[in-house]
Structure 1
Amino acid sequence: MRSKRLGHHRVASTVAPFAAVVALLLTACSSPPVPSASSAASPTAPTPPAAAATLSPSRLAEGAEVLIIGDSFTEGYGIAPGTDWAHLVADDRGWQATIDGVSGTGFTQGLAADGRTGLDYANRVRRHAEAGGAYDLVILQGGLNDLLVPAATERANVAATVQAARTAWPDADVIVFGPTAPFGGGGNRDESGAIRATATEAGAVYIDPAAPSPWLDQANSPDFDLGDRLHLNDAGQAYLAARFVDAVLASVE
């Protein structure tokens, strides 16, 4: 699947049925998400960062090889193919992007909306590494589907995911792009701070769409809401992409 302007860029996208996505999101509010196999690992202290949490201009340059892993926002739930924030950012920056969005998943949540298992972020990072991908930049978007996960479990899995990326591609920069949703999205922010704290400790750059003030709020959500008070329409995805690019450029060393 390619966005309109990506041209020669390589874009791999994993798509789950939309009806299944809605069902999963509705049940997430009443029952805890199913932990992936990596969740059972005993928490360990994050590995000391290999480098300061800033981004290298060379790894953001046109032609950079970029891996983007995320949830339904990255998949582009409910919108035309190639119009999600990840495709828009890759197009804008001229990146050769591998885009792996799976609805229902997260750092801990490995159960996809279509019933597939083992798709938590750390496992997917390892699979891309085993497939021989070589990346300058790894972006890990999400966490909303981990809403009911204990903070300690989430911290362990965020740390494991960042470490998996660093092990696979030691010279790559890593960005963790936190969760958000229109109208608050029922826990759209990293309320416990587990994702932000662990990403920072692990040496990743954390892009926070909830601070210093939420990117999506009561004022702009009506314009950006897909209609389910959780996902973004085309305008919302374009807005998210623009804000993300601004935040990334502000983190360049």
Structure 2
Amino acid sequence: AVRATAAGAPGAAPGGAPGTAPLVVDGRVRLEATLTDPADSDAAIATVHRLRDAVHAVPDARALVGGYTAQQEDTRTTAAHDRRLITPVVLLCVLAVLVLLLRSLVAPVLLAATVALSYLATLGVSAVVFPHVFGFSAVDPSVPLYGYVFLVALGVDYNIFLMTRVREESLRLGTREGVLRGLTATGGVITSAGVVLAATFAALGVIPLAFLAQIAFIVAFGVLLDTLLVRSLLVPALVRDLGDRVWWPAGTGRGALRAGSASASTASVSVSSEAGSGSGG
């Protein structure tokens, strides 16, 4: 799977010529190997793994295997590790912020789930569109993570904007009516902001770089999906179906608010009565 030669001494032809003394620096020798398979193929990656297993098995060798294929494989492995680490950390941080803001457990879990669902749906559409529409044979390893961070951050912004208003309205009118009032007040702003933001990211697609084109599509499509469907229809529908249970365990405090309003009304009537008695006297 490879053809290897020792790197020649300074001034020798690249790759070293047969019979040329190898270049030794601090007791280390560089061997140049040419893969017989395409550099970005699975077979080439498998060859790199076999080479690493072989050289690492040599005692005290401290050998390294580099080159384009090895670098791409290391980048892919690092990106996969970052996704496994950063994805849950970001989601937990978002969940903590929503819990503190909404003083509830059910609503934050529901909102975090919709954000994750929107991201996964965007990845699924991208997996179909990239090879069949844009002609991308592969996706940059860091694209899914960048897309996740952008979409989660933007989705949480829209969630906070919508649900804080819904909670305010729910204190006065109840959850079912509060959802309608909150969506009426914020829906147009959220949708408009999403369209503008999607157009802004889509403009990155004109730059002739596959990485930017992929990021542009993921973020633009994800934002439109989030603002036009998830935030405008799915989230309000779920909250309306759950009713006051969505604010568990704290609740909306609507009962306390009504009790306070009733007390204020009683006090007002008493003051009016006393004033009326005084006038009669």
Please give the TM-score of this superposition, normalised by the length of structure 1: 0.27
Greater helix proportion: 2
Please give the TM-score of this superposition, normalised by the length of structure 2: 0.25
Of the two structures, which has the highest relative contact order with CA contacts closer than 8 Å and spacing of 6 or more? 1
Greater C-alpha Rg: 2
Greater strand proportion: 1
